[in-house]
């Protein structure tokens, strides 16, 4: 664990309510979000192959199951990234502005245990970082806040409850501070190149010159180890995958029976990605509730619920460059399984 600097500042404001910029009314926001979700689900389920976006994995139970996954022996990415952040955190923060890094924004905060290493580095550099946690799950945000407040009570936490794939409202950064945006865990690998670049470009739109992005990416490694990480013998990943159907049922009133589906998660070597599927164990007819209509599936037919890509360094640097960040530094775990790219906001977009 990184060292802790006894630096308690009293009178620091802590916000108890998720931050919403320009809030219309809560009801309008959630009605809108629900209609958009139903459209997205309808569209994905009509595709061939059928798809349900991976963000539906992360209801409160799903966020808890993912946290359980990160503690499995077989699932190495979280541990590898944490080690890298603990080893190189000081260097990373120094390269991103040291004491001036006063606004650490994490997209998909999940359980923020890894982030403590970076906040510590900012504290050590003599800065007063604030931590803005953005997540789609209220439960995950609550966990983040508990973990962080217990670990580093001197760091103020601002939770933002939001689906950052849709819209991104961030609290304005403190006057004169530098923002360090974090997109960790290898979540960028859930998207193909074009949507990944579009997403990071939107993040960049919330940033200014002298701000930095730290992007975590899973790297190409032994296929058998990758396979095992997504096919743990205890079946936690299988349950995480099936739970997506419970979430969809709760959202839409659909009639998916999770137990009618097998978890299938092959590492597709030529695409350098894990694909997570739910495969019908028998012929099924599923009522889609408010999504509208029915889905008929043959035995053995699948719904794709996630892709999780493995990269090589240059893939990652190209992506951040295309999104408007100049690659400044690259940090890699000693086993070569995980990489972190640090990019600096470029003032003008290069044509791409």
Cβ proximity to ligand AVJ: between 115 and 237 the closer is: 237
Q: Which residue number, 114 or 152, has a Cβ lying nearer to ligand AVJ? A: 114
Integer Cα distance of 314 and 66 in angstroms:
28
Minimum CB separation of residue 76 from ligand AVJ in Å reads: 10
> What are residue 242's DSSP bridge partners?
none
The least distance separating ligand AVJ from the CB of residue 141, rounded to whole angstroms, comes to 16
- CA separation, residue 65 to residues 70, 216, 344 (Å): 9, 21, 34
Closest CA to 284 of 292, 294, 276: 294
Q: How far is the CB of 85 from ligand AVJ (least distance, A)?
A: 15
Kindly state the smallest distance separating residue 276's Cβ from ligand AVJ, in Å.
6
Residue closer to ligand AVJ (CB basis): 102 or 168: 168
Distance in Å, CB of 244 to ligand AVJ, minimum: 10
- The residue among 38 and 276 lying less far from ligand AVJ, judged by its C-beta, is 276
Q: Which is nearer to ligand AVJ, 154 or 163 (CB)?
A: 163
Kindly list the residues in this chain that would bind ligand AVJ in the complex (CB under 6 A).
66, 69, 77, 185-187, 189-190, 230, 237, 306, 308
Q: What is the C-alpha R_g of the chain?
A: 20
CB of 185 to ligand AVJ, least distance (A): 4
Give the nearest residue (CB) to ligand AVJ. 308
Whose Cβ is closer to ligand AVJ: residue 124's or residue 241's?
241
């Amino acid at each position: 664990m990184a060292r802790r600097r006894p630096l308690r500042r009293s009178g620091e404001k802590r916000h108890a309510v998720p931050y919403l910029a320009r809030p219309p009314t809560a009801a309008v926001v959630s009605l809108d979000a629900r209609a958009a979700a139903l459209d997205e689900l309808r569209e994905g389920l009509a595709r061939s192959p059928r798809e349900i976006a991976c963000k539906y994995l992360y209801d409160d139970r799903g966020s808890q199951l993912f946290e359980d996954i990160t503690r499995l022996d077989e699932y190495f990415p979280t541990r590898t990234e944490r080690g890298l952040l603990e080893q190189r955190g000081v260097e990373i923060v120094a390269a991103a502005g040291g004491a001036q890094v006063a606004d650490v924004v994490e997209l998909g905060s999940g359980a923020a245990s890894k982030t403590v290493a970076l906040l510590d580095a900012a504290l050590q550099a003599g800065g007063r970082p604030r931590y803005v946690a953005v997540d789609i799950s209220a439960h995950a945000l609550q966990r983040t806040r508990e973990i962080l407040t217990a670990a580093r009570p001197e760091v103020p936490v601002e939770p933002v409850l939001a689906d950052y794939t849709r819209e991104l409202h961030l609290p304005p950064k403190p006057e004169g501070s530098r923002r360090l945006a974090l997109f960790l865990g290898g979540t960028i690998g859930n998207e193909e190149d074009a949507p990944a670049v579009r997403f990071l470009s939107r993040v960049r739109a919330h940033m200014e010159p002298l701000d930095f992005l730290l992007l975590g990416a899973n790297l190409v490694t032994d296929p058998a180890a990758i396979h095992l990480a997504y096919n743990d013998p205890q079946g936690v990943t299988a349950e995480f995958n099936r739970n997506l159907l419970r979430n969809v049922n709760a959202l839409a009133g659909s009639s998916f029976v999770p137990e009618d589906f097998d978890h299938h998660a092959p590492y597709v070597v030529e695409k350098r990605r894990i694909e997570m599927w739910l495969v019908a164990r028998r012929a099924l007819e599923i009522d889609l509730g408010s999504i509208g209509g029915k889905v008929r599936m043959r035995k053995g037919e699948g719904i794709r619920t996630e892709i999780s890509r493995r990269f090589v360094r240059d893939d990652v640097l190209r992506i951040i460059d295309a999104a408007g960040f100049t690659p400044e530094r690259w940090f890699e775990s000693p086993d070569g399984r995980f990489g972190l790219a640090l990019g600096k906001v470029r003032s003008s977009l290069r044509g791409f």
